Every structure is written in structure tokens, then in C-alpha cells.
Amino acid sequence: MKLTRRNFIAAVVGGIAGIQATPLPWKITDDVAIWTQNWPWVPVPPTGEFTEVSSVCNLCPGGCGIAVKKVDERAVKIEGRTDYPVNPGGICPVGMGGLQLLYDESLRFTGPMKRAGLRGAGEFTEISWGEAFDILAGRISNLRKKGTPEAIAAVDGNPEGTTVSVLIKRLMKAMGSPNYVRPLSITDTYRMGNLLMQGTLAPMAYDLENSDYVLSFGCGLLEGWGAPGRVMNAWGMWHDGNPAKRKTRIVQVESRASNTASKADMWVAPKPGTDGALALGLAHVIIKSGQYDSRFVADHSSGFDDWRSLEGTNHIGFKTLVLEKYSPEQVAKITGVNPKTIVSLAKGFANAKAPVAIYGKGKDSLNGSLYEFMAVQSLNALKGSINRSGGVLLPDPIPLSNLPPLEVDAIASEGLKRPRLDQAGTMRYPFTDSLINNFTDAINRNPKSPVDTLLVFSANPFFTLPDGGGFKNALEKVPFIVSFSPYRDETANMADLILPDCTYLEKIDDIVWPTGLQYPLYGLSKPVVEPLYNTRNTGDVVIELSRAIGESVGSGFPWENFEEALQARAKGLFDAGGGLVSYDPDAPAWQRQKAGNGPKPGYKSFDEMWEGIQSGGMWYRPVSSPKSWQGLFNTPSGKFEFCSKLIAQAIEHYSNKISKKAALKNMGLAAIDDEACMAHYQAPKAGADRSVYPLLMLPYEMINLASGWIPSPPFLYKTIFENQLLKDKSFAAINPKTAAKYHLEEGELVVVKSPAGEVEVRINLFEGAMPGIVYLPLGFGHTAYDEFLKGKGVNPNNIVQAGQDPISGYPVWWNTPVKLVKV
């Protein structure tokens, strides 16, 4: 039989009819629908056992308690801990996004590496740890053999006092180099101010939670100052309940309507860099109205009234200085703040029961000005808000043990005698520990870099220093750079050798006294997950490196590993007695417990205490009663010094070497004699022709963008507004009036030009910006990392033209003259 067309059609019709009676069409339809729901590239997160590890966040010196949720071996979420004294429950957005820093592989170094491409290109080849140690130890030994150990330098971004920073400092000393420098932060300003006025060495301790009037001079309370978890928790507490019955008032002194300024009860906007003058204006009103704490001033302070020295010279006191030079009208001229506002502000401060004036500059990651700090601290002294609940507390330094004394060999002791490149601690900068801007200059000034090998720890000075790109140029000149960063940051991309640290979730590390906290706290962060890659804790690496160098360097590090060194220091905590290693949320650490009523330590031996610290992540001593005045101030006068004798001595000492005029000039002082020893306002040097650069550029920080050495977790870019970053352009916030003057409109492209450089941004018209000032956000403009961060916006640090703060020598990064040029 022949198969005709007709037959074929019949068969097909039969087939079609028949197939309907089979599961095929129906099953396929169903399965295809299901198939479209499960693409192979949509990840299916494996499930498993849910656990939680308590640790401490180490992304900033704030050290908030974190609970990391895990599914089997994977960390899946970071949450705030409610059983940690610093931050009862909350953390900041950076800490919240921390897992991206752990798991985004393209942000990280996966093992020790050697540079393969050009500097800055970020091309590396993986090497073994053994090879890495050989290269570095060989280089260091060579320099030591040549008798030039001072050509080794270290930039250490670990917070002061942490064990890893102590070990790095020790390594530098053992090798024989004095050139250990640190990126500056507000704690450096606090340290110097406290030393000069109070003679204390413990960190700044602001008792914010117990205060009823917080007068913040520039502290970005909601921008990430101090321990963000602590400050924002206090903020929530301050705003609880009926507004009429609210106990605490917050006043923000800042030139821009930041979150803190907007959310505060009152916002006062002086010109940038005139906060000190405003504080002195308040002092004027308070002294004039006699509302100051005369008992504190009389019993516990010196330099308030005019005085006559033993030699018979007359000296003016703080009172005379302030009354003469800082009347509301005079201050209004400097600051641009209405005299009436100054008076009402002073009244508010004077009438409060437990007022506190706090000083800062945005977050705590950049330095402030010494005299501004002194002016603010003088206000506290005037109201007796020192060593009083709700004011500035004067706790003892944290009782960590000193490491055994270090014995250095002949090479090292010769090297240590050589002058520091940054001149810190010389007569010119008598109270300064470290001055990274001078260090940079020293490299840039010399035709051949005086630094041969630069070690960079937990820092990204290429990006974070407000130096107009100075450090970047310095890096190009340094022959050999070693980075210990876990991240592929800008500085690491310039390095020749990478010895990557673990990220904060993979290692043990300590947090010593979160910035601004009013009680001593030692935090311990521990590994939440096993190291994902071939990275090692820098603490361990420093110890291993010392062994690889050998000789007397190696014998200075007798510990098996980093944890042993941590324990060696923590011994002191046990010996001091009385510290707590667990926290009860019902007894906040800032609440003064009645004597004998507070929680008990509950451990009997060091081992028990260490176990407690490891599991809870903390050792702390809650706020105790105010201390006895006896011996409280360790100043030459034994009292709080409105007029610092140490400054007077330093000027005199320097004047004996060179002329007084030259000495004052070198120290950056315009004032002379007594005024130079007291808080006073000194207009910063213009630094450029203001007719060419009529505007000022002020970098500002945001809590939802990391601006320090840590990269921002990509999640943070969700929180950035369209008028802060659009595609690859960040925005400069300027007042509509200023914009109108230069015929600029919202979103328009402009070049911000300063004597130090230029950056291209878009314009954001913002009523809350002070006229005449260009505000650029910090944290954008990375040239390293991956597509989430790279090339997004500009880094204002690149155009900062920083002068030097008198006496301290710290960079004045808030005074860059700029102009706007339309693109």
C-alpha cells in the first residue's frame, strides 16, 4: 500500500488526537512552567544548622558587639548584640554589611603575593608564605647590615594601644627604626589636649548618657563619631517619650545641616574652623553673667584669674582673655553666628544641671585642632563638668600589662638615635607622637626617598589622608612597599609585596577603649569563620617575621603566637581586679551602681577571666563614682590648667634654642605669651589667593559610607541618594545662593579647583549648606577594589590643601580654598 498525502494527514490527525489522551502535552506544559522557575544560575543557598557566634566588630575603633548568624560553616547575617555594653542591640550600616567584606572575593587578597604589573595596576602573582617571609626578612636584614635600619618605616592604622599596634611598634624598635607613623584621628587631638590641660593619659571619656545638655562642637554624633552603636542608642534614649518631658537637649555646632544638625534640638552654624571662637564666646557670656562653677574654678583649676609669677611678671588669665577678646559681638564677626544665638546658647549650657561640651570633626577618623579642643574643654571646666556625672570623666588608663622590656642590639640602638622623618616630638612639635603629613613631605622633598622599605598595616593612606595626593606621590618614590592589608586597596595596589591579613571575621584581635566611651573597655573579637583563603593574622605574621629576621629582633618576641601576646597584656586586667566579663542589659555600664551593689566579676583566676573574655568578647569596668580630686590632674600645677604650663615651657625651651619669634613662627603660633598657652582663636592662613579661589571646600563624612581604610560593603551604595552619587559622578552640596552667584544648576557638571588639584563633580543645591562653601562627601572616588566601588565619584582628599595646626602640627584639612569652573 502506498502512503499518500491523504494517508499521511490521517495519521497525523490520529497522532494529534491520540497524543491528547497521553500525559505528554499536559506533563510537558507543567514541567516547562516549573523549569522556568529554576534557572541554574539563580543560587539556591544550602540550608543546615543555624548557629550564632558572639564577637566584636573591629571595622572601626568603636568596637560594637556583634552576633553573627551562621548556617553550618557559612556566615549569613550580622546583627547587633544586646548583651554587650557598648551598643545594646544596634550597629552601624557598615558593620551590618560586613559579610560582603568577607565574601566578596574580588575585594580581597587570597594569599601572599608579589607585584606582577605596574604599580597601581593591581596585578599580582601568588607566592607562598615562606617566600614572602624570605623576601621581606632578607630585605630588612640587608638594611640592618648596611647600618641603615631607619630606612624601614611603618604606617600603622591599627588604633593606638591595641596589641597588634604595640607589637608593630615593638618590631620597629627591635629592627632599629624610629619611623613609625600613624594616620591621625580625633583621638590624637584628645590625647594632646588632655595631656596639656589635665595631665591625664587615659582616653577621652564623655559621659553622654548621664548628661542633660550635650553641646557638640562638630562631633558627627549621627555620622559615626565614637562607637556609632553607643551614640545612636543614646540618641534613641534621648528622644524617648513625651517631648515636653525630655531630659536631654542636644545642640549641634556645625556649618552644614548634617543629620546630627537636623535631628538635634538646636543647630548653630559657625564658619568652618571657628568652633573654638564660638566656645570662647559662650565662655565670655557665662563668665560675665557669673554662672560658672566658681568652686571648681577656684579649687581645681589654674590660670583662670590673672596671676603674678615668682619672678614678678604679670600674666593674664583665661577670664581676662575671654572677657577682652570674645564678646558675642566679636565672636559673631569671626563665626558668623548671631550674637543673640550665642547668648541663648550660653544660657542653655549654663542653666543645665549636667552639661557637657564635646569636641570632634565629623567621624573620629580625622584629627581636630588643639586650640579648638582646649576652648571646648575650657567650657566644661567653667561649668565644673569635669570629673562629674554627665560631664567629662577622668578614668584611669586601661590596666593592660606592659610587655617585657625590649633589648635592642647595637645596629638598632644606632638606628633609633637617628631623627624621625616626621619631626614629631622635636621642639617644633613637642607634644606630637607622629605626624604623617610631615613624613610624606620628607619623602617627597628629598630627591631620593629616605625610606627604603615601607610597611603598611591596616591603613590606606593613599586614599584616606587629607593631603592633596601627597602620600600617593610619596609611594611612587619609595623603592619597596609591603602591604599587610586584607583588601585590594589603593595603597596595597602600589605595594611590591602583600602579606594579607585575615578580615575581622576570621581572626582574633583586641579593641582597646572605644573612642569617647566613659568607662574602660577591652573588647576581643574572635574568628567567626575559619579563614577562607591563605591569609594570616597580622599579629602572628609580625611575630613570625621577627623570627625570620632573627638575631635580637627575634628574641624580642618570645610568644608562640599572637594570642599568647594578647594574653600577656591582658594579665594586667586580672591583676587590676574588679573588671566584668559579662554584661547584663538591665544594668547599663554607664549607670552608676551603688557601692557594692553592682555586678561581680565572677572569675577567680586569669584563665577563668580569659575564658570569659573570649566567650563574651569583653572586659570592662562600669562607671564608678567620681574620683577623689587628690592627684587627679597630673599637670605641673596639679590642677586643671586653663593656661597650660607645658605649652609655656615648650615655647620657652624652643626660644632658648632659636629666637622667640622664630620659635613661635615654627610652632605655627600667631599669639604670644599667655594667650598662646590658653584656648584662643587663630585665623588659619589663607594659603592661596582668595580672589582666585573665593570658596572653601569642606569634606564631610556620612555614616552610610566607609571613608577610612575599610572598603564600603556594596550594600551601602543602596543607601546613597541620587543627589550624592549618580553613575560615576558624586555631588558637591552648595547653597542655592552660592550656585546662583555662579549660575549653576542642580546636576550641572563642575570642576572644583584648589591649589592642590581638581575634581569633577555634579552640583547639588542644598539649602542646608553654608553659603560660600563647597561640601564634598568622603568615601567616594576609589581607584581600587572592584566594580562596586571603583571609579564612583571623587575623593575630596585629593584636592585638600592642608595647613598645619599650631603646636600639634596636625593638618588643617577643613580650610581648602577652591573655585568652581563649569564644564
Partner 1 sequence: MKKGNDHGKNKYGMVIDIDKCTGCGTCMVACAAENNVSVRADQSDKERTITWMNLYKISNGKEFPHTEVSYFPRPCMHCDHHPPCVSVCVSTATKLDFNTGIVSQIYTRCIGCRYCQAACPYGARYFNWWDVFPQDKGMDRYLTPEVSPRMRGVVEKCTFCHHRRMRAKTLAYAEDRREIEEGEYVTACTEACPAQAITFGDLNNPEHEVSKLIKHPFTFRLLERIGTEPKVYYHSTRDWIRKLGDNFLPGEYTPVVNQTWAEEEWSTKPGRDEF
Partner 2 sequence: MKDPVNSSKKTSDKGGDRPLSGFFPRWMNINILAQDVGFFILGLIGASIVGWVIFPAVLYSKHPQPINFNHALHLDSEKVDGIEGETKAEKCLFCHAFRDDGTFVGIPKLESCTECHDDPESPLGETPEEKAFMTKYVANEEEIPWLVYSKQPDCVYFSHIAHVKMGNIDCATCHGDFADNEKLPLYVKNRLTGYSMNIWGKRISGFYWNKKFSDRMKMDDCARCHTEKGQEQNNACFVCHK
Site for partner 1 in 721-760 (CB under 8 A): 721-722, 725-727, 735, 737
Looking up cell 584639612 gives 813
Choose one: 225-233, 369-377, 595-603, 676-684; the region binding partner 1 (CB under 8 A). Answer: 225-233
CB 110 within 8 A of CB 535: yes
Q: Least distance from C-beta 110 to partner 2, angstroms?
A: 24
Read off φ and ψ for residue 266, nearest 5 degrees. Answer: -150, 145
Binding partner selected for residue 96 from partner 2, partner 1, none, CB under the kind-specific 5 to 8 Å limit: partner 1
DSSP-assigned beta bridge partners for residue 481: 454
Q: Which residue, 427 or 532, is less far from partner 1 as judged by CB?
A: 532
Vertex 557: Cα angle to 553 and 561 (nearest 5): 135
Looking up cell 550564632 gives 52
Q: Which residue, 646 or 720, is less far from partner 1 as judged by CB?
A: 720
Write out the binding residues for partner 1, residues 416-455 only, by CB under 8 A: none
Read off φ and ψ for residue 374, nearest 5 degrees. Answer: -65, -40
Binding partner selected for residue 15 from partner 1, partner 2, none, CB under the kind-specific 5 to 8 Å limit: partner 2
Q: Which residue, 73 or 607, is less far from partner 2 as judged by CB?
A: 73
SS3 of the chain: helix, strand, coil, percent, to 5? 35, 20, 45
Write out the binding residues for partner 1, residues 697-716 only, by CB under 8 A: 703-704, 713-716
One DSSP character per residue, 182-198 reads ----HHHHHHHHHHHHT
383: number of Cβ within 10 Å: 27
49 is a site residue for partner 1 (CB under 8 A): no
One DSSP character per residue, 514-528 reads -TT-SS-EEEEE--S
Give kind and range of the element (H or E) at residue 492.
Answer: helix 490-493
Looking up cell 555662579 gives 742
Name the maximum alpha-carbon separation found in the chain. Answer: 139
Helix (H, G, I), strand (E, B) or coil at 405: coil
Write out the binding residues for partner 1, residues 326-345 only, by CB under 8 A: 341
14 is a site residue for partner 2 (CB under 8 A): yes
Given candidates 129, 559, 606, 717, which one binds partner 1 under the rule CB under 8 A?
A: 717
711: number of Cβ within 10 Å: 26
Choose one: 47-55, 237-245, 532-540, 574-582; the region binding partner 2 (CB under 8 A). Answer: 47-55
Given candidates 5, 17, 308, 310, which one binds partner 2 under the rule CB under 8 A?
A: 17
Binding partner selected for residue 233 from partner 1, partner 2, none, CB under the kind-specific 5 to 8 Å limit: partner 1
Contacts with partner 1 by CB under 8 A: the residue count is: 85
Binding partner selected for residue 6 from partner 1, partner 2, none, CB under the kind-specific 5 to 8 Å limit: partner 2
Read off φ and ψ for residue 156, nearest 5 degrees. Answer: -120, 115
Write out the binding residues for partner 2, residues 27-46 only, by CB under 8 A: 27-28, 30-32, 34-35, 37-38, 42, 44-45
Given candidates 5, 22, 314, 530, which one binds partner 2 under the rule CB under 8 A?
A: 22
- Quote the CA–CA distance of 525 and 608 in Å, as a whole number: 18
Helix (H, G, I), strand (E, B) or coil at 78: strand
Write out the binding residues for partner 1, residues 62-101 only, by CB under 8 A: 69, 71, 74-80, 87, 89-93, 96-97, 99-100
Binding partner selected for residue 368 from partner 1, partner 2, none, CB under the kind-specific 5 to 8 Å limit: none
Pull the grid cell for residue 108. 580581597
Given candidates 235, 504, 654, 810, which one binds partner 1 under the rule CB under 8 A?
A: 235
157 is a site residue for partner 1 (CB under 8 A): no
Q: Least distance from C-beta 61 to partner 1, angstroms?
A: 17
Choose one: 240-248, 309-317, 555-563, 665-673; the region binding partner 1 (CB under 8 A). Answer: 240-248
Pull the grid cell for residue 221. 554624633
Binding partner selected for residue 12 from partner 1, partner 2, none, CB under the kind-specific 5 to 8 Å limit: partner 2
Choose one: 201-209, 258-266, 558-566, 624-632; the region binding partner 1 (CB under 8 A). Answer: 258-266
Give the residue from 590, 501, 578 showing the smallest Cα distance to 111: 501
- Quote the CA–CA distance of 323 and 281 in Å, as a whole number: 9
Q: Which residue, 251 or 679, is less far from partner 1 as judged by CB?
A: 251
Write out the binding residues for partner 2, residues 167-226 only, by CB under 8 A: none
Q: Which residue, 243 or 631, is less far from partner 1 as judged by CB?
A: 243
Amino acid at residue number 326: Y
Q: Least distance from C-beta 75 to partner 2, angstroms?
A: 17
Distances (CA, A) of 758 to 626, 727, 755: 51, 19, 8
Mode of pairing for the β-strands spanning 65-71 and 50-56: antiparallel
Q: Least distance from C-beta 480 to partner 2, angstroms?
A: 43
- Quote the CA–CA distance of 268 and 274 in Å, as a whole number: 12
213 is a site residue for partner 1 (CB under 8 A): no
Q: Least distance from C-beta 554 to partner 1, angstroms?
A: 37
Q: Least distance from C-beta 28 to partner 2, angstroms?
A: 8
- Quote the CA–CA distance of 56 and 506 in Å, as a whole number: 12
50 is a site residue for partner 2 (CB under 8 A): yes
Q: Least distance from C-beta 257 to partner 1, angstroms?
A: 4
Binding partner selected for residue 7 from partner 1, partner 2, none, CB under the kind-specific 5 to 8 Å limit: partner 2
- Quote the CA–CA distance of 30 and 37 in Å, as a whole number: 11
- Quote the CA–CA distance of 366 and 465 in Å, as a whole number: 9
CB 611 within 8 A of CB 568: no
The 8-class DSSP code of residue 622 comes to: -
32 is a site residue for partner 1 (CB under 8 A): no
Q: Which residue, 24 or 749, is less far from partner 2 as judged by CB?
A: 24
Write out the binding residues for partner 1, residues 513-542 only, by CB under 8 A: 532
Q: Which residue, 20 or 313, is less far from partner 2 as judged by CB?
A: 20
Vertex 518: Cα angle to 515 and 523 (nearest 5): 60
- Quote the CA–CA distance of 233 and 236 in Å, as a whole number: 5
State the residues that interact with partner 2 by CB under 8 A.
1, 6-8, 10-19, 21-24, 26-28, 30-32, 34-35, 37-38, 42, 44-45, 47, 49-50
